Amino acid sequence: QVQLVESGGRLQQAGGSLRLSCAASGRAFSSYNIAWFRQAPEKEREFVAAISWNGGDTNYADSLKGRFTISTDNAKNTVYLQMGSLKPEDTAVYYCAAGSSPFGTIRGRQGDYAYWGQGTQVTVSS
């Protein structure tokens, strides 16, 4: 079992930055990939970014490349999502998830991720 706890979400003005944290614990969490997803009101949950625990491989949603950066701090068992140039459309509940994809890949498919956190709310005002 892997436990994930997100933090860092808050109200931020458009154009600003935020860093979300995902603290991981439990058995063998370091063997999983960690991903961020988000769900805006009345929309489906969508993939944001993913990373291998050693940080060697990453994957981003095409629309977010260049604004969002995912990283790991192995000493703190934490994965971060640095978000820049925030837009009102970034408003959503952000979830981190742990899982694995076939053949050592890092995919953005929700079905690849078995463990999920409770989410943290990000609100971007215009």
80 φ/ψ angles, rounded to the nearest 5 degrees? -115, 155
Q: What is the pLDDT of residues 31-63, one digit of tens each?
A: 899 999 999 999 999 999 999 987 779 999 999
pLDDT at residue 72 in the model: 93
On the question of pLDDT at 7 being above 90, the answer is yes
Average pLDDT over residues 84-91: 97
Cα–Cα dist 35/117, whole Å: 11
53 φ/ψ angles, rounded to the nearest 5 degrees? -60, -30
pLDDT at residue 83 in the model: 98
pLDDT at residue 116 in the model: 97
Q: Which of 33, 30, 28 is nearest to 103 (CA)?
A: 33
Q: Is 79 exposed, middle or buried (0-12, 13-18, 19+ CB in 10 A)?
A: buried
On the question of pLDDT at 27 being above 80, the answer is no
